[in-house]
Amino acid sequence: MSNNLKAAISRFADRRVLVVGDFMLDEYVHGTVERISPEAPVPVVVERSANHVPGGAGNVVRNLRALGAQVSVAGTVGSDEAGQRLREMMAKMGCDTTGLARLEGRPTTRKTRIIAARQQVCRLDREDLRPLDPDDRTALLEPLRREAKHLSAVIISDYDKGVVVRELIEECVALAREHNFFLAVDPQVTHFEHYRGVGVLTPNHHEAGRYLGRRLDSDDEVARGGAEILERLKARQLLITRGEKGMTLFRSDRPDCEHFPTMAREVFDVTGAGDTVISVFTLAVAAGASLEEAVFLSNRAAGLVVAHVGAATVSPDDLLAVLP
């Protein structure tokens, strides 16, 4: 396994991945609390600093670029300061942002977290959840159609913000079959039925359970539930992430699933771990790793990022260092 994974990691830089989905700007406002507001029983936070990072599908871009892949996008931002900032940040990472459409009358999704004394006081979301207009949806598909024959993989990052709709998913599935690229989906529970025929779905066990209407806690419950999802959606693979219990892989060409125990030694923050998993898994498969090797590598990567506070990423050197 080790030699093949080393070879796969060495090919990351040659792989081109397009990320399509809900791009957003994550804003962190840090401050101090010295008094309670006279207007309501709430703390008054005095801002001391602020920082911004790409969120949603943008965090998948961060992960892929950290791994060395060539990355392009298909998504939308508003004609506003947040959208311009997001575009510039991803371009600075080396991402091709020509497929990031600027829409009038629809704001860039922004999540502002107010933090004081290392505690999140509140979160303010600015978003428009309406499905994209047909014309905007057509424009969104243009970069995907234009690049399809050159792609190694496509990742759909669905946060249910109006971008990922049935027609988009069906087009991605059709193009994946035509051009033989790997199609991976980080799913939204309300859209599970739309994902028929994709390469791999990567829900966590809570999402998988909500789709089925029951809890999936034990190995047996996950095994039965995952097999049911795979059969319903006719996906080729299903990878259920299970936190401290690791991951479980299902394959359409095999009757039994395979459990992979967690590789995390310390857990400080699980923020963005799912983005790391789908990025590493997809890139590893696209670079020639077997499915089992890709799960092993993404499991190791998840163990690394949860040991850090905030949405961390891993590099090829980080992955090489944890190979057996």
Spatial distance between the Cα atoms of 97 and 143, rounded to a whole number of angstroms: 10
Closest by CA to 202, choosing from 60, 315, 96, is: 60
Spatial distance between the Cα atoms of 100 and 103, rounded to a whole number of angstroms: 10
Cβ atoms of 17 and 104 within 8 Å: the answer is no
Quickly tell me which residue has 């792609």 as its tokens.
151
**Catalytic residue (choose from 22, 80, 186, 275):** 275
Spatial distance between the Cα atoms of 46 and 264, rounded to a whole number of angstroms: 36
Closest by CA to 241, choosing from 191, 203, 297, is: 203
Packing angle, helices 166-179 and 134-147, rounded to 10: 20
Interacting residues of 165 by C-beta distance below 8 A, sequence separation 6+: 131, 132, 137, 194
β-pairing verdict for 182-186 and 247-251: unpaired
Report the Cα 224 to chain-centroid distance in Å.
25
Spatial distance between the Cα atoms of 6 and 4, rounded to a whole number of angstroms: 5
β-pairing verdict for 100-103 and 70-78: parallel
Known catalytic residue at 186: no
Please identify every residue annotated as catalytic. Answer: 275
